[in-house]
Structure 1
């Protein structure tokens, strides 16, 4: 009798293992994910704020491993961002762990080597939280890193019917009244206190400046920006602008110098375009949007967008624009656009 019970238990465990592995494969293979995290990079002499922001596209399963490519994103050290030019990784042990390795490159050509290892902390209906440790090597200086990161899955967007096609590619984003007053707070303590008060009064929108927490659309989507504030605004895209960037210092640059001095492969200290917390990239520039008016802009290129109002630089918004080939819309986070 004991032998029969033992065999039943073993058989059940095998079946559950197969089912779990199958569920993991179906959930993680040939899918797209957004990874957002922040933490610190520590060397012998420095402690720097660091962020990671990646778009992952997974492939087929090999054993208990699923490889993925990193199609877009960045790693930041303080205010300097390094684009994910040559990064890849794998989900390991049924998603309990993941690994990211490769190189990332800044706009001045400087590269960093990246080796991250993530451990699953907890799953929820809004995504998964991972703890990352690892190393970043910059100019022969090695930083140990630690991040807390959220990984959200993308889901396929249903194809619109013929009657819906004309309206499905146009979305609305509102600049909220009072956005110009920076009422959300100049530091994270003030911001948290004000956010807590908003939650208590039933106001659940995280951003107090825009109607959406982030933009998540396909290339070619037109967004109509409606200014409900009492003053004019202008929204531009650019590079820089991580969570810890100090826009209020005024280091916002409208262009990068193309005529580098002889012998330089980057813009030297003290030159125009150097020490900028944010630099326009020319992809999005709405021009002036008067109070009560609206402007439509089209996100033509795939990738990550940093959006700000250079006159009111606390007004920041991230855009995640992904191609038709994966036809993705973020499943969690942010509010849904209105048509």
Structure 2
């Protein structure tokens, strides 16, 4: 600021007003000071300004996999709400790696952000507890920690699986397969539980086979589908629930290449409404996960904790209800819901 004042030929206080209260500065002086700032190549140190003010206007968001549009929607929901409040959301993608997730949390902790939103796929309780001991409020999204030391925003993943299975059963599909990864991933375990509950309601009228995959990406779906083609041809399979939309689209791809028609021969649906899977030849039925709402509600809870006395704050869990989105892959083109963002 002293360099700028010297270059513009004004007092230090005038430079301060230009940066913080430009309405108080005469237009000619404002232009001269801004010209000096541009000529010197100076950029405001926002972090230092926020630290001096005693509160950061930035929030850190750590997501496990930015290729999944759920996490993109979470970021959009948080950013839109932050913009309304004059705040910023800084995002880090951990790329499905626990060590990278830990490094991202440490980075935001060191950057002294006002708080952190964390959307993991596995238990990160120890990391959250460590960050919170540094005075960094943290809200967990889309994962139930089972703890009471932080706020959470969840979608009812058991209901996701239940809605998926119920949809196929209500449309006359009675020989189902659930294609999913290992149960150490909490959303997978909960969606499987929901599918089983819907099948159990039928009292043996509906059968269910469970097909494990090593991963939740398209290669896992391709391998799983190869083993299901003959089941469809034999008549022992007429409905497939994939735990993710990317798995479902890969399964549809294999079925099409092998002459199995979707949904005439077999209905196929996903479970996470991933926009990356919407563009196939057969629009995919899935379950809406409310990512925008999750991001907004997460930020609301985080800011409430930041503003409250720590001794008085009570951690809460918000549970969002998923919604079925019916498309061509289960009911055909005539009955499908028009495709929208």
Output the TM-score relative to the length of structure 2: 0.22
Between structures 1 and 2, the one with greater strand share: 1
